[in-house]
Homo-oligomer: A and B are copies of this chain.
Amino acid sequence: MFGITASSRLRPSPFYEATLAEGVTAFTTYNHMLMPTGFGQPQAEYWRLINGVSQWDVAVERQVQLQGPDAAKLAQILCTRDLSQCAVGQGKYVALCNHDGVLINDPILLKLDDDRYWLSIADSNIWFWARAIAAERGLRVTVSEPDVSPLAVQGPQAENVVASIFGDWVRGLKYFWFRNTEIAGIPVAVARSGWSKQGGFELYLMDGSKGTQLWNIVREAGKPWGIGPGNPNACERIETGLLSYGGDTDGSTNPFEVRMGKYVDLDIPDDVIGIQALRRIRREGVQRQQLGVLIDGDQPLEPGFHWHAIHHRGAKVGDLTNCVWSYRLQRNIGFGLVAIDCAAGDRVEVHRHGQPLPASLCALPFL
């Protein structure tokens, strides 16, 4: 592992000092910020998420705020999912596309009010995108980055921890719904969400000066359940089939290729960006699909920065877009973005650093 050089181009999060105190050892960058990616005990960090509860600095999930009389209109123009029934206090997982139907982000949309929305974004610049569209279409809406930084509490015991802090009402929150509240004077939105399939919440901190304080409130409250630090977990998210925008997608990926078709509503108005292209793609069919890849062998492979070519019967059929050692499956697994005529069960070869690795395609998720 190489070092990451300090630079003010890469902002620390409000939880940075707290994660230093927890012994963070590595970072990635995401939306021009630092995100912790390890605390020195990868196995413990994984099993804590699967069996207990883990707290994560996910402040890099930045908010693109749309506010003003045309905020609802802009939200719908940007999102390829029907938002007409979205209630205040509700969130929705959405696909943002460009005019060609290419996926440019997969945020959670949160409706805070009839004239205020957040897009809690993956790793691409949606401020520029939303501002360009708003200005070019003459919409009365302000696009901004508010002082909002999520802290995730994830795992089967997360509900107990969050209920012990905020009260039992959190147990009644439906998936992706949220409520504004506060704890120790710190303004927080509590949402049932998070980038794992182990259940949990995201606490949207709304005062960046209180990061360490909120981190420590969760840390103390979680002690009876054995809470510890963690981060969006590459192993768990690949096992459970969660998409990483920018990691598992490229400059031509559309939502249908990466199992997001169910979040696209083709009958929404024509002024939604990309919807006409998506109707055409749906009609004509996609060229690629996302399948699981189970690599033969029982030795963990080194993680890498590259995609790796997948070959079938001597010809390239796609790419392995991620790869991780699964602690539960005891196999190297990953996602393949492969030709539409590939199928689960196909035997393939992954070409990694010049070496062909025998593997099988399978349905997603793995677990």
Q: Which residues of A contact B (CB under 8 A)?
A: 1-12, 16, 24-30, 32, 34, 37-38, 98-99, 104, 123-125, 127-129, 131-133, 135-137, 145, 234, 244, 246-248, 251, 273, 302-307, 321-322
Contact = CB atoms under 8 A, between A and B. Distances in A.
So how many copies of this chain end up in the complex? 2
B24 A10 contact: no
Nearest to A145: B251
Given A12-B306, A29-B29, A247 B7 contact: yes
B3 A4 contact: yes
A5 B24 contact: no
Given A3-B4, A32-B123, A9 B128 contact: no
Contacts of A125: 124-125, 128
A2 B28 contact: no
Which of A3, A16, A30 has the most chain B CB atoms closer than 10 A to its own CB? Answer: A3
A3 B25 contact: yes
A276 B137 CA distance: 17
B6 A4 contact: no
14 contacts: A1-B6, A4-B4, A5-B27, A7-B234, A7-B247, A8-B322, A9-B30, A12-B305, A32-B246, A98-B131, A99-B131, A125-B125, A128-B128, A132-B136
B28 A4 contact: yes
Given A128-B129, A132-B132, A2 B26 contact: yes
A97 to B, nearest CB: 11
Contact of A28 (B5, B133, B137): B5
A307 B4 CA distance: 18
Contacts of A234: 7
Given A1-B5, A3-B38, 19 more contacts: A2-B3, A2-B4, A4-B26, A4-B27, A4-B28, A5-B28, A5-B38, A7-B303, A8-B307, A9-B28, A9-B246, A9-B247, A98-B131, A98-B135, A124-B128, A125-B125, A128-B129, A129-B132, A132-B133
A32 B28 CA distance: 11
Top 9 A-B residue pairs of the complex, sorted by shortest distance between their CB atoms? A132-B132, A3-B26, A136-B136, A1-B3, A125-B125, A5-B37, A99-B135, A9-B247, A4-B4
A322 to B, nearest CB: 6
Contacts of A273: 135
A9 B306 CA distance: 9
B104 A9 contact: no
